[in-house]
Amino acid sequence: MDQSTKTGIFYGLTAYVWWAIAPIYFKAVSGIGALDILAHRVIWSCVIVVLLIAAMGKLSVLFNVIKSPKKLLALCASTALIAANWGTFIYAVNSDQMLSASLGYYINPLVSIIIGMVFFQDKLDRLRKLAAALCVMAVVFEIIQFGRLPWITLVLAFSFGFYGLVRKKLAVDSFTGMALETGLMLPFAALQLLWSSDPQSNMFNNDMGLNILLFAAGPITMVPLMLFAAAANRVSLVTLGFFQYIAPSGIFLLAVFVYGETFGSEKLITFGLIWSALLILMLDSLRKLRKRPDAIAPAA
- Which DSSP category does 295 fall into? G
- What is the phi-psi region of residue 150: left when phi exceeds 0, alpha when psi lies from -120 to 50, beta otherwise? beta
pLDDT at position 106 is 92
pLDDT of residue 299 exceeding 60: no
Global pTM value: 0.89
**117 pLDDT tier (thresholds 50, 70, 90):** confident
pLDDT of residue 300: 39
N-to-C CA span, the chain:
19
CA 160 from chain centre, in angstroms, equals: 6
Domain count, the chain: 1
Helix, strand or coil for residue 110? helix
Provide CB contacts within 8 A for 230, sequence distance 6+.
8, 11
Average pLDDT over residues 61-70: 90
- The tens digit of pLDDT for each residue in 176-235 reads 999 999 999 999 999 999 988 888 777 878 888 889 999 999 999 999 988 988 888 888
- Using CA atoms, how far apart are residues 97 and 251, in angstroms rounded to an integer? 10
Residue-level pLDDT at 297: 45
Q: Distance between CA 4 and CA 6 in Å, rounded?
A: 5
**Nearest Cα to Cα of residue 154 among 199, 227, 104:** 104
CB atoms within 10 A of CB 261: 17
For residue 295, pLDDT beyond 50: no
Cβ 30 vs Cβ 96: under 8 Å: no
8 neighbors 236 (Cβ within 8 angstroms): no
- Indicate the average pLDDT of the chain: 88
Amino acid, single-letter form, for residue 131? A
Q: Across residues 88-93, what is the average pLDDT?
A: 96
pLDDT in tens, 162-173: 998 888 888 788
pLDDT higher for 93 or 290?
93
255 pLDDT above the threshold of 50: yes
Please spell the DSSP secondary structure of 145-189, one letter per residue.
Answer: HHSS--HHHHHHHHHHHHHHHHHHHHT--HHHHHHHHHHHHHHHH
Q: Is the pLDDT of residue 40 over 50?
A: yes
Confidence band for 1, pLDDT divided at 50, 70 and 90: low
Q: Is 70 exceeded by the pLDDT of residue 296?
A: no
Q: What is the pLDDT of residue 244?
A: 87
Q: What is the DSSP letter of 258?
A: I
Alpha carbon distance 181, 194 (integer Å) = 20
Average pLDDT over residues 139-150: 85
Give the integer Cα–Cα distance in Å for 243 and 229: 14
Q: What pLDDT is recorded for position 120?
A: 72
Domain that holds residue 199: 3-296
Instruction: Compute the distance between CA of residue 253 and CA of residue 159 in angstroms, rounded to an integer.
Output: 23
pLDDT (0 to 100) of residue 260:
94
Q: Tell me what pLDDT residue 175 has.
A: 87
Predicted confidence at residue 298, as pLDDT, reads: 45
**What pLDDT score was predicted for residue 237?**
67
